[in-house]
Amino acid sequence: MSGMTIDLTGKNILITGTTSGLGRHFALTLAAAGARVAVTGRRIERLQDLCAEIAGKGGHAFPLALDVQDVQSIKQAVEASEKALGPIDILINNAGVNGAGRAIDITPEAYDELFDTNLRGAFFMAVEVAKRMMSRHKNNPQVTGKIINIASAAAHVLLPGLSLYNMSKAGMAMMTRALAREWGRQGVSVNAINPGYIETELNSEWFHSDKGRAQIATFLRRRLNQAGDLDGMLLLLCSDSSAIMTGAVLDVDDGQSLLALG
């Protein structure tokens, strides 16, 4: 994005999974670009702290309790977001869990937990928001909406010990293309970002261990990515500069997926 300034002033963005990690970073980044953001998750106190931080930097954010495994919770959160901020212009489907473990050890309960979060939740979030976007587009063809799914390099590169995670992210990549094809003529663009390994509070301890540093040494550029490395692609997809992009599943991983991850 060198030489470009992305101004999202006037845009209303709903982000799932913003209590920590990438979702939290996305909220800060998009609010700094001028967007009004609805931050969501199950730990409401963290959302309130995030909103206070955004407000302290001159931004605007609104906290919403959301459990993406619950379709009724999804409907309530979308309704509350539009009541508080106005029509949703952009949805960032970010909520997810990794579900580490050998396939033979995975219980039906663990399977449902991961897929209900990573794929089922993302699907019904997209559907609930897209219905509203399509209705507005029908009334005014100049009004369009954007959905951005946060998938993973695991969508197409096997991460050992993460069979369910790989399966869910591969599903999200295909879901992105399917929804883009179905909704393209109704004013809704759907794209996805495939991050590689990015340092977050959940994995920081591992990557600073001897084994974690050894893993980093196997990466193409022998370095770990940071959340901010996704900012350029995120801002592009949220901006009018991506008007002709839909159905794209974009690797943003510093070349990690060119080698065998894991």
Catalytic site positions: 165
Name the β-bridge partners of 193. Answer: 150, 250
The closest alpha carbon to 92, from 240, 254, 233, 200, belongs to 233
Give the end-to-end CA distance of the chain in Å, rounded to a whole number: 29
Q: Are 58 and 93 in contact (CB under 8 A)?
A: no
The closest alpha carbon to 261, from 99, 100, 153, belongs to 153
Encoded tokens for 89: 């212009």
d(CA 238, CA 90): 7
Tokens 């979308």 map to which residue?
78
Tokens 């969508």 map to which residue?
155
Rg (CA), the chain: 18
d(CA 108, CA 262): 25
DSSP three-state, residue 197: coil
